[in-house]
Amino acid sequence: MFRFALGFFGVLAVAGGALLSVLHLWGGDTAPELAEAAWLVTLAGPIALGCFIAGLVPKPVRIRVVAGFLVMLIGFNLSDNLAKLVSLMADQGEQRDHLHHGVFGLVWLLGGPAFLWTALKSRWPVAPPAEQPG
């Protein structure tokens, strides 16, 4: 189940990141609905990161969910702050906003294939440790 979720959100992160990057870094005027849809699809990147970490934690499901949720929030904040930091190079106003959104999409465009590769090829998620007899 975790593998399917990781692969699904990895594909969405790649699609949303590509769409957001193209719309804001190389595109001209776009429909606001399309830009909003790109943002929503790009949110799959932090969700994929949360699924990845939840699969690495060899604890009960409740702890996995909490760890994944916390890492999802941290990943979103870190990628957003990185995009804001890069966007400081642009002039204030619309140019800075476009650079911020484009870099945010680019971060998850690059991160999404890693999650997809993990879902397809590696020994993930980690199984909980076996009970010790005695």
Q: Quick: pLDDT tens for 77-132.
A: 999 999 999 999 888 887 888 888 889 989 999 999 998 888 888 767 766 566 66
* Model pTM score: 0.82
Q: Is residue 132 part of a domain?
A: no
Q: Is residue 128 part of a domain?
A: no
Where in the sequence is the domain holding 12, given as residue range(s)? 2-121
Q: Is residue 127 part of a domain?
A: no
Q: Is residue 131 part of a domain?
A: no
Half-sphere exposure of 48 (CA within 13 A, CB side): 29
Q: Is residue 133 part of a domain?
A: no
Q: Is residue 66 part of a domain?
A: yes
User: Structurally, how many domains does the chain consist of?
Assistant: 1
- With a CB cutoff of 8 Å and minimum separation 6, the contacts of 80 are 104
Q: Is residue 134 part of a domain?
A: no
Q: Is residue 51 part of a domain?
A: yes
